[in-house]
Amino acid sequence: MDRLLLIDGHSVAYRAFFALPVENFSTTTGQHTNAVFGFTSMLINVLRDEQPTHVAVAFDVSRQTFRTTEYAEYKGNRSKSPAEFTGQISLIKDVLQALGIPAFEKEGFEADDIIGTLTTQAKAAGMEVLICSGDRDAFQLVTDTTTILYPRKGVSDLVRMTPVAVEEKYGVTPEHYPDLAALVGETSDNLPGVPGVGPKTAAKWINGYGTLDALVADVENIPGKAGESLRDHLDDVLRNRRINALVCDLDLPAGPAELGFSTEWNRDAIHEVFDALEFSALRERLFDYLGGGDESVTAEAAVDVQTTVVASGGLAAWLKEHADGTPMGLEVTGVTAPVGARAEGLAIATASGPAAWVSVEGLDPSDDTALAAWLADPAQPKVLHDAKGQAHALAAQGWPVAGVAADTALATYLVKPDQRAYDLADLSVRYLHRELVSSGDDSGQLSFDDDGGADVAVQRARAALDLWAVLEPELESLASLDLLRDVELPLVDVLLRMEAVGVAIDTDHLDTLHAEFTDRMLAAAQDAYDVIGKEVNLGSPKQLQVVLFDELGMPKTKRTKTGYTTDAESLQSLFAKTEHPFLQHLLAHRDVTRLRQTVEGLQKTVAPDGRIHTTYFQTIAATGRLSSADPNLQNIPIRTESGRRIREAFTVGDGFETLLTADYSQIEMRIMAHLSEDADLIEAFRSGHDFHTVMAAKVFERDPSDIDGGLRARIKAMNYGLAYGLSSYGLSQQLGISTSEAQALMDDYFETFGGVRDYLRGLVDEARSTGFTATILGRRRYLPDLLSDNRQRREMAERMALNAPIQGSAADIIKVAMLGVDRALRESGMASRMLLQVHDELVLEVAPGERDALEALVREQMAGAADLSVPLDVSVGVGPTWHDAGH
């Protein structure tokens, strides 16, 4: 028998929203996803457990239906949907579309009516029906072939409501459940019942008379107070019965027979949706439970590779036979982190089939020489996935790598910059329809078990090669191939050298700071305890909620699933309102705790050579910005004196004269001037005066000498806010003014700088037309949500469209500058070296006697990294520590 699964979309989504903490489910762009996650999880479970042959989901259109026309108070007791829920229904529809599951909705009717219609049609066609809904009105549809899957707890615990189960719980058969509900009422729908009449009395009446109609016909003879109450509220009962009756004859665009469910999915569509939602675990469950979706994607689908496990002394001959100048895939196993790197094995794959596996331990001198020559030969192109880590392992063996034709992680990043991860196994499934054994972990270890390890590595090397064959034409069509070859790939070598060199650390200074911050943390905690007269866990939101809102009676903050929020922004706002000393000490405790944690993170990452070797990532930020980890150098504070003292621990190393720092001044606004071609903005830069003061003078129509610090600060906030898509609300929060004042300031600003206004407006319109934004170098960011019907998602995409070209261009320029500085250093023969890149700043270690020449070199390369209509101003400082070299 065919089995039709029908799901009440809104009902299940709403239950999922309240079952899962909203604060625990959101994307990196800020989109809440708890309802989507819960719904999708439930869907996967039901598809797995029930194995339906046909599936559909029904949604409500709005609260305005024929039922509210008859009874305006219908569902009138329901509060407005939480703001965090808004937008999640459209995301659920995206998931359904990717899975090929039809979604129905009909103006003027509810999801239950659609379900009632499809159920009626399915029963007539001899189908079994399963209905997943938290709305008890659906119980009237239950028969021997129709079962309700009713969420008892959240959306994971579903109870099967059969005819027997309905009668056991409510005392009436399913067909009479709406009669009982009409008498008792339905609180959730705001339908009042007969006062004094409960389910047992109602069931007794219905079973005694057989039908509600028969009961009504004899209503004058119903004895007692219950009968009198029924007569007094008979109109309510009849109205309730009309309203809770499902419409089962709607005209729908498809019937049950057209709702066939298949796991022959569009994998690209599924990956795109699940990537955007950042549901990697759910995606794995989906493929695990439902067989992978595409039968061609199996472990047996791996290509036929003729692997030769090269014996000692045989590598030179194998390379001579197969290394013919065509691209070859390369996979290196071992430790791929900057510290402790080592190569254990190499897999080399050709496109035609032959492949080699080499154990580093078993190499003899002739193998070593042949391998080193092949790796260093730029005429022998290699394709790797995440080339930098593998290059660390090779460098540890004394084998530099040249001729890297492609890094498929970087290539995929340029095609899909908003993904969270670029794992080769996942990309192989998506692009090659080929399952791979995943390898590696966050420690930088890429090792395989001896049993089958060679085959795994070889398959990965071949996958990288085949993946590049797919990605190269795609990059070409997206005008992104030059960006890969001219910027991202050459930068791998620069970052490799920077990571290997690291930066010297004064560990004694870190120890001193740690002790000081610990003392301050404990003192701040004690001060907080003294205010309230007891000790509490200052890191526990639940305990803070009791102290702040119950005991101290402070104004309530934003309500969350776990109570009123105690996050940093809310507590700062609360302190601004109350100036309560407990909050003062609590905030001080949090600030110094973060500083202490930063110091601890640095202490843990100091290598045996006394230097910190951070790892840079090129594929994390969609805008193109570099990221770093172990430690994250972008988290080193700079806005407070205590934070800046941490930079004093970064020192010049032995044998070097000083540190030199160089960064761009107001690079985002210079890019804005170039892109917008606003004459006044360009003139402000060329004037030679303080940029923000000149801008403020133009906006407020005053002489620059009359611009005080407050006015300058307002325009400075505006200037930088534009580069981040700042809204009037965001500006008001920054400046501590009302939203209307902030909007007026923005209006005055755009009135003065019309070119900026026109550019920003045109930017969003063009992105909406093309589907992407682009930087000066052509780096694209794709924004499909610009066309979304969901206002929250659309506005978020519009903010991204505003800041992506500016932020991305700044990222491109600093990368070009790094390439220029690195190339000029090597060509000049200088011993000075580049150590760090943080935001728009470079940190270099100056060799004795090279300070002036290095400063001139850095200024020239950074200033010449882009040809803008305004000069790229470079600030330079020198000193024995990163802090001292600041400027």
Half-sphere exposure at residue 283, Cβ-oriented, CA atoms within 13 angstroms: 19
Residue 146's H or E segment, with its range, is strand 146-153
**Per residue, what are the HEC states of 538-552?**
CCCHHHHHHHHHHHC
Q: Residue 809's closest CA among 854, 762, 867?
A: 867
Residue 12 lies in a domain: yes
Residue 184 lies in a domain: no
Q: Residue 667's closest CA among 500, 813, 463?
A: 813
Q: Residue 315's closest CA among 361, 375, 356?
A: 356
CB 29, CB 803: distance < 8 Å = no
Residue 74 lies in a domain: yes
Contacts of residue 368, defined as CB under 8 A and 6 or more positions apart, other chains included, come to: none
Section 159-163 average pLDDT: 93
Torsion of CA 669, 671, 674, 679, to 10 degrees: 0
What's the CATH number where 366 sits?
Answer: 3.30.420.10
Alpha-carbon span 602 to 613, nearest angstrom: 10
Contacts of residue 274, defined as CB under 8 A and 6 or more positions apart, other chains included, come to: 95, 98, 280, 282, 283, 286
Tally of domains in the chain: 4
Q: What is the pLDDT of residue 561?
A: 59
The two tokens of residue 450 are 């001896």
Q: Give the DSSP per-residue string, 425-457.
A: HHHIIIII---------TTSEE---TTTHHHHH
State residue 342 phi and psi, 5-degree precision: -160, 145
State residue 160 phi and psi, 5-degree precision: -85, 110
The larger pLDDT score, comparing residue 512 to residue 666, is at: 512
Location of structure tokens 């929020």: 565
Location of structure tokens 């108070």: 73
Q: In terms of domains, do 337 and 477 share one?
A: yes
The larger pLDDT score, comparing residue 572 to residue 847, is at: 847
Highest mean pLDDT among 45-49, 85-89, 349-353: 349-353
Query: For the ranges 24-28, 57-61, 236-240, 651-655, which has the lowest average pLDDT?
Result: 24-28
Q: In terms of domains, do 598 and 737 share one?
A: no
| Burial environment of residue 441 by CB neighbours within 10 A (0 to 12, 13 to 18, 19 or more) | exposed
Q: What is the pLDDT of residue 433?
A: 78
Alpha-carbon span 742 to 746, nearest angstrom: 6
Q: In terms of domains, do 306 and 422 share one?
A: yes
State residue 738 phi and psi, 5-degree precision: -70, 160
The band of 291, judged by pLDDT with boundaries at 50, 70 and 90, is: low
The band of 350, judged by pLDDT with boundaries at 50, 70 and 90, is: very high
384 in helix, strand or coil?
strand
Q: Is the peptide bond before 631 cis (omega within 30 degrees of 0)?
A: yes
Q: In terms of domains, do 426 and 533 share one?
A: no
Q: What is the pLDDT of residue 307?
A: 87
- Give how far Cα 574 sits from Cα of 469, 740, 857, Å: 57, 22, 50
Residue 835's H or E segment, with its range, is strand 833-838
Contacts of residue 516, defined as CB under 8 A and 6 or more positions apart, other chains included, come to: none
Alpha-carbon span 496 to 383, nearest angstrom: 17
State residue 313 phi and psi, 5-degree precision: 90, 0
Section 379-397 average pLDDT: 96
Alpha-carbon span 320 to 373, nearest angstrom: 11
Query: For the ranges 241-250, 522-531, 737-746, which has the lowest average pLDDT?
Result: 737-746
Q: In terms of domains, do 11 and 59 share one?
A: yes
Is residue 536 predicted with pLDDT exceeding 70? Answer: yes
pLDDT > 70: what percent of the chain?
Answer: 95
CB 54, CB 261: distance < 8 Å = yes
Q: What is the pLDDT of residues 183-220, one digit of tens each?
A: 988 887 888 889 988 889 999 999 998 888 898 898 88
**Per residue, what are the HEC states of 500-556?**
HHCEEECHHHHHHHHHHHHHHHHHHHHHHHHHHCCCCCCCCHHHHHHHHHHHCCCCC
Q: In terms of domains, do 360 and 423 share one?
A: yes
Q: In terms of domains, do 526 and 387 share one?
A: no
Q: What is the pLDDT of residue 872?
A: 93
Q: What is the pLDDT of residue 300?
A: 42
Alpha-carbon span 663 to 191, nearest angstrom: 67
Alpha-carbon span 671 to 687, nearest angstrom: 17
CB 510, CB 649: distance < 8 Å = yes
Does pTM surpass 0.85?
A: no
Alpha-carbon span 707 to 696, nearest angstrom: 7
Last residue of a domain, one of 809, 841, 860: 809
Last residue of a domain, one of 460, 483, 502: 502
The band of 492, judged by pLDDT with boundaries at 50, 70 and 90, is: very high
Q: In terms of domains, do 708 and 755 share one?
A: yes
Residue 726 lies in a domain: yes
What's the CATH number where 117 sits?
Answer: 3.40.50.1010
The larger pLDDT score, comparing residue 230 to residue 523, is at: 523
The band of 452, judged by pLDDT with boundaries at 50, 70 and 90, is: very low
What is the rounded average pLDDT for all residues in the chain?
89
Last residue of a domain, one of 792, 809, 826: 809
129 in helix, strand or coil?
strand
Section 740-748 average pLDDT: 85
Query: For the ranges 69-73, 827-831, 859-863, which has the lowest average pLDDT?
Result: 69-73
Residue 23 lies in a domain: yes
The larger pLDDT score, comparing residue 286 to residue 722, is at: 286
Q: What is the pLDDT of residues 292-326, one digit of tens each?
A: 444 444 444 557 788 888 888 899 999 999 999 99
| Burial environment of residue 62 by CB neighbours within 10 A (0 to 12, 13 to 18, 19 or more) | exposed
End-to-end CA distance of the chain: 77
The two tokens of residue 292 are 């992978």
Alpha-helical segments (H) within 478-506: 481-483, 489-501
| Burial environment of residue 461 by CB neighbours within 10 A (0 to 12, 13 to 18, 19 or more) | buried
Q: In terms of domains, do 491 and 518 share one?
A: no
The larger pLDDT score, comparing residue 166 to residue 279, is at: 166
What's the CATH number where 696 sits?
Answer: 1.10.150.20
Q: What is the pLDDT of residue 687?
A: 82
Determine the distance from the C-alpha atom of residue 307 to the mean position of all C-alpha atoms in its chain, rounded to a whole number.
39
Section 49-76 average pLDDT: 87
CB 259, CB 54: distance < 8 Å = yes
Q: What is the pLDDT of residue 299?
A: 40
Alpha-carbon span 275 to 280, nearest angstrom: 7
Residue 182 lies in a domain: no
Section 666-680 average pLDDT: 91
Q: In terms of domains, do 487 and 352 share one?
A: yes
Q: What is the pLDDT of residues 7-26, one digit of tens each?
A: 999 999 998 988 887 877 88
Q: What is the pLDDT of residue 64?
A: 81
Edge to edge, the sheet with strand 650-651 lists 611-612, 503-505, 650-651
Q: What is the pLDDT of residues 407-438, one digit of tens each?
A: 999 999 999 898 777 888 878 877 887 877 54
Residue 420 lies in a domain: yes
Section 835-863 average pLDDT: 96
Query: For the ranges 273-277, 323-327, 413-417, 651-655, which has the lowest average pLDDT?
Result: 273-277
Q: In terms of domains, do 546 and 677 share one?
A: no
Q: In terms of domains, do 457 and 525 share one?
A: no
Residue 818 lies in a domain: no
**Per residue, what are the HEC states of 801-834?**
HHHHHHHHHHHHHHHHHHHHHHHHHHHHCCCCEE
Q: Give the DSSP per-residue string, 2-18.
A: -EEEEEEHHHHHHHHHH
Q: What is the pLDDT of residue 725?
A: 66
Domain range holding 342?
Answer: 299-502
Alpha-carbon span 26 to 276, nearest angstrom: 11
Is residue 742 predicted with pLDDT exceeding 90? Answer: no
Alpha-carbon span 139 to 689, nearest angstrom: 75
Q: Residue 884's closest CA among 609, 613, 645?
A: 645
